[in-house]
Amino acid sequence: MKNKVYSMRLSQKDKIAFIGNISTMLSAGISLIETVDSLLEDAKGNQKKLLEEIKRGLVQGKQLSQTFTKFPETFDEVSINIIKAAESAGTLDVTLLDIKNHLQKELEFIDKVKGALTYPILIFFVFIGVSLMILLFVMPKMATVFTRMKVTLPIQTKILVSLSNLLIQHPLEVIATIAVGLTFFIIVYQKKRSWLLSVLFSLPLISGLIKQIDLARFTRSMSLLLSSGLTITQALELSTNVVFRNDMKKLIRYSQTVVLSGRPMSQGLRRGKNLIPAITIKIIEAGEKTGSLDKALQDVSVYLDYQVDQNLNKVTTMLEPIMLIFVGAVIGTMMLSIITPIYGLIGQVGAR
């Protein structure tokens, strides 16, 4: 039973509601144990199991952050360390509200990405459907006509006829091959995930967007970690887990060594000229000088969130015509492969 509870996962929406409810009730002056008891009355499923484990831990004298460590699939290391620091500082209600807002922004961005990809994905599935319809229904009939009339077929038409025959005569083998291919890809992805992601993140339309996403996530996480009372070195160490690109991870680790040597974080970030804009470093530098680094990082993250939204819209706007051109070119080539022999057949009939 324990293993089942420890391996459970809450959806992002459920996690936001869960943390938000605890924060609201703590802000109202209700104790944590009373809050958990109150939430247990209406809780169901995984939330109920989580609350029961939290209550068990509180009765045993454990802190909330200690219980959260038992659920790594639900609570990441950054959130757990922020809550741990807040418990020591006595600001758990405020910190939980900050975490809720942070998770809300992450969810909003994910929803925007899903919305942006809906149209291209729809086009892709339409393309697959039209291609299968041509190969399974149109080509067999046309191939029969071409064979009877002994029409000389161009290479592209022969390829389509071969694909059509393969799908019709060996459907199970084709499905098995696709399944093996997908399994192989999943295995390679798991073992070479960083390499595959680095290739994906280097694509022209995506590279710039990923850089901004990494920087926005880095600055927002750093602001949240610092405002909760963690040291800069601790915040930098945890922030490596929120970025995607390896070069950004290396830059954060380098900045951590710079801070450990007694120099400001901005000096370490200056090494990444291609990753972090000069204006961003200037703002961070000003925050260090005035002792308001967490506020400076928050301001930067808000601006970067806006920039990410704008660039995401641009990428989507560019991706849609590219997808349409690709689909049009492939379907057009397939139709041309069918029409060309028909013209040849008409020419033979006319010659007779």
In one letter, which amino acid is 5? V
pLDDT tens, residue by residue, 317-332: 888 888 888 888 988 8
242 versus 347: the higher-pLDDT residue is 242
pLDDT tens, residue by residue, 76-135: 888 898 899 888 888 888 889 989 988 888 888 888 878 877 888 888 888 899 899 988
The DSSP string of 299-315 is HHHHHHHHHHHHHHHHH
- Which two structure tokens, joined as six digits, stand for 25? 């009730």
From residue 42, give the alpha-carbon distance in Å to each of 4, 47, 49: 21, 10, 12
Residue 348's pLDDT is 62
pLDDT tens, residue by residue, 140-182: 888 888 888 777 788 888 888 899 999 999 989 999 999 999 9
pLDDT tens, residue by residue, 180-190: 999 998 888 77
Contact residues for 35 (Cβ-Cβ < 8 A; gap 6+): 21, 22, 25, 26
Q: Does residue 59 surpass a pLDDT of 50? A: yes
Q: How confident is the model at residue 1 (pLDDT cuts 50, 70, 90)?
A: very low
Domains of the chain: 2-75 (no CATH), 100-352 (1.20.81.30)
Q: How confident is the model at residue 192 (pLDDT cuts 50, 70, 90)?
A: confident
- Which two structure tokens, joined as six digits, stand for 344? 């040849």
From residue 72, give the alpha-carbon distance in Å to each of 18, 65, 98: 16, 11, 20
Q: Which residues of 134-168 are buried (b: 16+ CB within 10 A; e: fewer)?
A: bbeeebeebbeebeeeebebeeebeebbebbeebe
Whole-prediction pTM: 0.76
Residue 78's pLDDT is 87
**How far apart (Å, rounded) are the C-alpha atoms in residues 352 and 345?**
11
